[in-house]
Structure 1
Amino acid sequence: MVQRLSQRVQQIAPSATMSVDAKTKALLQAGQPVVNMSVGEPDFDTPVAAAFAGVQAIVNGNTRYTAAAGTVELRRAIAEKLARENGLAYTPNQIVVSSGAKHTLYNIFMSILDPGDEVIVPAPYWVSYPEQIRLAGGVPVVVESDESTGFKMTPERLAAALTKKTKAVLLNSPNNPTGAVYNASELRALGDVLQNHDCLIVTDEIYEKLVYGVEYTSFAAACPDLMDRTLLVNGFSKAFAMTGWRLGYVACAEDLATAMASLQSHGTGSPSTMSQAAGLAAFAAFNSDVVSAFWRRRDVLVAGLRNIAGIECELPDGAFYVFPNVRAAFGRAYEGRVIGNALDYAEVLLEKHWVATVPGDAFGAPNNIRLSYATSLQNVEEALRRIQDFHRVLGF
């Protein structure tokens, strides 16, 4: 019998975040009072100016294909944004707009990797990085970090992971799932290690606007000598609450951009014309009140978790996640069921106390769980009450 599925597809691990979200929604539809702390999606609306621009594009008949790399107008606006906010000089020809930052990352790995090429991936990592690298024939090389390093890859660990097969190093700051943010000196220290190693640097900066009390620095700005080797990924989903619009981009050397535009032309083609119109308007419509709201929720959530016996929690500097360590619960029993790992912890918390989280195993950190505070302050406070009750049952 003919094998219906390719080995490539059979080797893909399902997205843990999407799986948890699907289970959570099923419970909600069944009438269960779940507090969803699992999904990485802002609970704010798309800025009105951006939404109106998208609708206006439709009404005006601006619904046809654009260039595969995106409209010149949007790519020019992205270049202006990168110059104004990040101190980086790019031309529109160095920018490719895609259907979300996830799509952008997929294009990158498909364009730069040959079978056996290694990509250094600091852990904890976003769930899709290793899978996308494997789909492109590459080998993810995980570099561990934990609370002792602030969930950041150190120069020493980076240097130890580099080999002749290293094609790229991936950096995500602010980080999903930890919220860790590399400062300029930390980025320069990593850049010093990479100066003498001929590899590319992929920087996922999708959460750059969501930082709390710290200054954000783009890797290419901290390490200008490495700008030609850097592929800067960003998008509109998180800061502008435009997840469903599916709009992201990469800025990089022109030869890399040309290759990715060509790949995209044979895959999805151009990104949504209406979404591009909305993205163009979004740059002038960023609402800083969103940052203030996230900041407040972060403080309440971290303070509450630190007051629960059996939980250790770092204070994240960015994104909208906290990543508490729950290993103290391992080995304890809940109504006869032993909590053996973070997956057990997350499942029992969801099934018995109706709080949806994501187990850290999915992010390469089996002692932790991820909670998203991209939800109301009321939900944050209710989740804390339920987690406190959960830990009382566990005997803390």
Structure 2
Amino acid sequence: MLANKTSIISPSVTIGISTKVKELNRQGIEVTSLSIGEPDFFTPDKVKQAAIEAIHANKTKYDSASGLFELKQAIVDKLKRDNHVSYDLDEIVVTSGAKHAISNALLAILNPNDEVIIPKPYWTSYPEMVKLLNGTPVFVNTKEENSFKLQAAELKALISNKTKAVFITNPSNPTGAVYTKEELEPIVKMCIENQIYILADEIYEKITFDDDFTSIASLSEEAKNMTITINGLSKSASMTGWRLGYTATNKKLASAMSAIQGHLVSHPSTITQWAAVEAINNCEADTKHMVDTYHSRRNEVIQMFEDIEDLSIVRPDGAFYVFINISKLKAYIDTPDSFSLEVCNRLLDDYRLAIVPGIAFGLDDYVRITYAADMETIKTGIEKMKQFINDLKK
């Protein structure tokens, strides 16, 4: 009696791992977790206080489907200040997290069997979202030597008359790669020429270490018109559970997404939205502290992996992940199923270490760890990986 689409999607691997870790913890079993992509900082106190004040001021009624006026104004100001692109208020739609923003966008642009190009490795939910909304995911096999960043020639090879959009995740989850302006320009030019929407997932934009961040919509007016900018506050303000995201698009798309949202969820929590106004306007110092901490950890983690000859990493320039090539371990592990899942299951079952298999991101020769954890936990996790490899060789 279920809809056919429920049979073609897979459960979230990352959420599944998190659930398993929590169950082990409830059993009193301690697990070193480097799996979940969540800041290990609390939401800034000033943001929590803004939410409390909104409650006491009875700012808890229905509001506009596309978001509070005050929050949309803060987003417009932020985009102009930080991303160097100008939007009007009616081009912003506030959502219940970035996932919701992506869902709104796909609902607004996809007809049945429209194709969405997704570079590998991808964030785990992209293909399932596309399939749920009757689209067809088309995967690009990017190259490790390019830090898995999409190349214009790779995109060109997959464009068809059914292509509606392409995902560009910048900075990347799971690799931490950051596109430069020069790397983005030929990709964007091709999308403009072929009238392909760019789903620009920029949720990690604040977490970059070595290069200035370039927002795709800032490249030109034509780029802005074809770009659906996805962003939110889960990573930059450590507001994962608050569920606050947004899109910035042309007016026609924003109007469509606002109408869709109005029927499906009305609007995000008004309390969360008032907290978000404070986060966007007054939390730059809090974000900088988090990013400086991640940067320091990133540098330490890179040094740690230099001493592990059986593993290699993609150097992360942003976000808070390390994507690890484990292909050399195939010499010691034979499995008919997913190789990366087998490695992660053994690490969790035998070493009580939780990390994410690369198959969740479309590449089975890799695993992902996060350094959104204290350094003691990170060091313990990497030591467990070393021990696992040493035991394999015995």
TM-score band, normalised by shorter chain: over 0.9
2:346 to 348, 360, 378: 348
Q: Is the 8 A contact 2:338 2:364 kept in 1?
A: no
Shift of 1:224: 3.6
Secondary structure of 1:119's match? Answer: strand
Instruction: Name which of structure 1's ranges 53-62 and 222-231 shifts more when overlaid on structure 2.
Output: 222-231
Q: Is the 8 A contact 1:331 1:339 kept in 2?
A: no
Where do residues 201-216 of structure 1 align in structure 2 (5 Å cutoff)?
A: 201-216=198-213
Q: Tell me the residue number matched to 2:174.
A: 177
Distance 2:348 2:211 in 1: 33
CA displacement 1:217-267 (0-9 Å, x = unmatched)? 001113442211111010000010000100000000011001000000111
2:79 to 62, 77, 82: 82
Q: Tell me the residue number matched to 1:301.
A: 301
1:369 to 367, 372, 383: 367
Distance 1:279 1:340 in 2: 40
Q: Is the 8 A contact 1:339 1:345 kept in 2?
A: no
Structure 2 counterpart of 1:174, which letter?
P
Distance 2:227 2:129 in 1: 18
1:290 has 2:290 as partner? yes
1:70 has 2:72 as partner? no
1:24 has 2:21 as partner? yes
1:250 has 2:236 as partner? no
Q: Is the 8 A contact 1:124 1:177 kept in 2?
A: yes
Structure 2 counterpart of 1:215, which letter?
D
Shift of 1:337: 8.3
Structure 2 counterpart of 1:357, which letter?
I
Moved over 4 A (4+): 336-340
Distance 1:194 1:337 in 2: 40
Instruction: Name which of structure 1's ranges 25-34 and 284-293 shifts more when overlaid on structure 2.
Output: 25-34
Distance 2:338 2:147 in 1: 25
Distance 1:109 1:24 in 2: 32
Distance 1:337 1:260 in 2: 45
Distance 2:293 2:197 in 1: 36
Distance 2:138 2:66 in 1: 30
Structure 2 counterpart of 1:232, which letter?
T
Shift of 1:339: 9.5
Distance 1:114 1:266 in 2: 19
Aligned length in residues: 391
Q: Is the 8 A contact 1:46 1:241 kept in 2?
A: yes
Q: Is the 8 A contact 2:322 2:369 kept in 1?
A: yes
Q: Tell me the residue number matched to 1:41.
A: 38
Q: Tell me the residue number matched to 2:135.
A: 138
Distance 1:11 1:226 in 2: 33
TM-score by length of 1: 0.96
Where do residues 63-212 of structure 1 align in structure 2 (5 Å cutoff)?
A: 63-212=60-209
Secondary structure of 1:195's match? Answer: helix
Q: Is the 8 A contact 1:188 1:223 kept in 2?
A: no
Shift of 1:28: 1.8
Distance 1:169 1:258 in 2: 21
CA displacement 1:23-64 (0-9 Å, x = unmatched)? 111112222221110001101011111111011111111111
Secondary structure of 1:330's match? Answer: helix
Q: Is the 8 A contact 2:231 2:246 kept in 1?
A: yes
Distance 1:295 1:354 in 2: 26
Structure 2 counterpart of 1:149, which letter?
N
Structure 2 counterpart of 1:88, which letter?
V
Q: Is the 8 A contact 1:117 1:139 kept in 2?
A: yes
2:381 to 375, 380, 383: 383
Shift of 1:331: 3.8
CA displacement 1:326-382 (0-9 Å, x = unmatched)? 01111415xx98997111111101111111001000101111001011111111111
Q: Which runs of 5+ in 1 are unaligned?
A: none
1:50 has 2:54 as partner? no
Secondary structure of 2:325's match? Answer: coil
Q: Tell me the residue number matched to 2:325.
A: 325
Distance 1:8 1:61 in 2: 41
Shift of 1:190: 0.9
Structure 2 counterpart of 1:52, which letter?
Q
Q: Is the 8 A contact 2:50 2:275 kept in 1?
A: yes
Instruction: State the identity %.
Output: 38
Structure 2 counterpart of 1:78, which letter?
I
**Relative to 1, partners in 2 of residues 1:142 and 1:340: Cα closer, same or farther, differing over 3 Å?**
closer
Shift of 1:306: 2.6
**Relative to 1, partners in 2 of residues 1:193 and 1:65: Cα closer, same or farther, differing over 3 Å?**
same
Secondary structure of 1:14's match? Answer: coil
Structure 2 counterpart of 1:116, which letter?
N
Distance 2:153 2:159 in 1: 10
Q: Which runs of 5+ in 2 are unaligned?
A: none
TM-score by length of 2: 0.97
Distance 1:352 1:244 in 2: 31
Shift of 1:303: 1.8
Shift of 1:390: 0.8
